[in-house]
Amino acid sequence: MSSATDDWVKHRERGSAVLIKLLARLSLWIGRPFGRAMLYPICAYFVMFAPRARRASRTYLSLALARPPGIRDVFRHLHVHASVLLDRIFIMVDGTRRFRVHIEGLEAIEQQVQNNQGCILLGAHIGSFEILRSLADEHHVAVKVMMYLNMSQKFNQVLSSLNPSFVDSIIPLGDPASVIEAGQFVRGGGMVAILGDRTVGDEKTADAQFFGRTVAFPVGPLLLSTVMQVPIIFFVGLYEGGNVYRVHFERFSDPPASRNRKLPDDVVAAWVGRYAQFLERYCRLSPYNWFNFFDVWHS
């Protein structure tokens, strides 16, 4: 069984923390055009000297584009990823004021806010997660992110140095108390965001068809929804080039009637299959926005 991404944990984060911080500071000082200009040699370096990422990009793009990808496609894939990472720095410092953000499906969020009911925001490593966090701050919606702090440590350290409140918005995964903290936050009307396309260790998974191939996705978000008895809203923040992002919200699922974590296999399979369909739809809509640069299918 291919794990949706257990492989990613084995990949060492590349790049010097000092150089990442220097690029961030220079980009903020000189301006975004300078930072974007620097992305071209950086991406060229990774195209030449990161063979695993290059192969993984080709495998994924061949499915998402439905044609053999060329080296320009791989470069574009890496460049979109780098652009989103660079923009995280500006969003962390200045919010979304530098960007044009189009929002679709906002009524799904407004309904939860009006009812003073929390929910789970389910995403993936597609587009910008920081856009969601900033929009929540600007509209005074309480959102916390469940994530592994020991992944992308260098970049997260840079973000924390730019905005110390970054750490306050995180519920660390892997901590036994994380589910309790998330439950308390949701019961107070908050929204907990989590990405559902990567697994770690012996995390519970279920198989689904993703681009016609079997991948095991985590069922943790479904279990959270079951225990907390709150709905799940799917979201993505797609980068459309320049300074434009398009954020989509969709009501994904209601919580199962039972709080029992031992859900029937068919319920779990249907839920994971629906997630895979949502993810594939947005990957086809914006192929270069999915950022899993390792062999998801173990091909």
Domain ranges of the chain: 6-289
**Paired residues of 209 in beta bridges:** 214
Beta-carbon-side half-sphere exposure of residue 100 (alpha carbons within 13 Å): 5
In whole angstroms, give the CA distance from residue 13 to residue 145. 21
The torsion defined by the Cα of 138, 141, 147 and 149, in degrees rounded to 10, comes to: 50
Radius of gyration of the chain (CA): 19
Query: Contact, 235 vs 103, CB < 8 A?
Result: no
Q: Which two tokens stand for residue 189?
A: 């009307």
Identify which of 143, 82, 94, 121 has the alpha carbon closest to the alpha carbon of residue 248.
121
Identify which of 127, 99, 83, 84 has the alpha carbon closest to the alpha carbon of residue 238.
127
In whole angstroms, give the CA distance from residue 38 to residue 42. 7
Predicted TM-score (pTM) of this structure = 0.89
What is the pLDDT, as a whole number, of residue 291? 95
What is the pLDDT, as a whole number, of residue 176? 77
Write out residues in the chain with pLDDT < 70, as ranges.
1-17, 150-156, 159, 161, 164, 299
What is the pLDDT, as a whole number, of residue 85? 93
Residue 223 neighbours by CB under 8 Å, 6+ apart: 204, 261, 263
In whole angstroms, give the CA distance from residue 247 to residue 143. 16
What is the phi/psi pair of residue 37, to 5°?
Answer: -65, -35
DSSP 295: -
Query: Contact, 102 vs 245, CB < 8 A?
Result: yes
What is the pLDDT, as a whole number, of residue 9? 47
DSSP 294: S
Beta-carbon-side half-sphere exposure of residue 145 (alpha carbons within 13 Å): 21
What is the pLDDT, as a whole number, of residue 7? 53
Q: Quickly list DSSP for 114-174.
A: HTT--EEEEE-SBB-SHHHHHHHHHTT--EEEEE-TTSSHHHHHHHHHH-GGGGGGEEETT
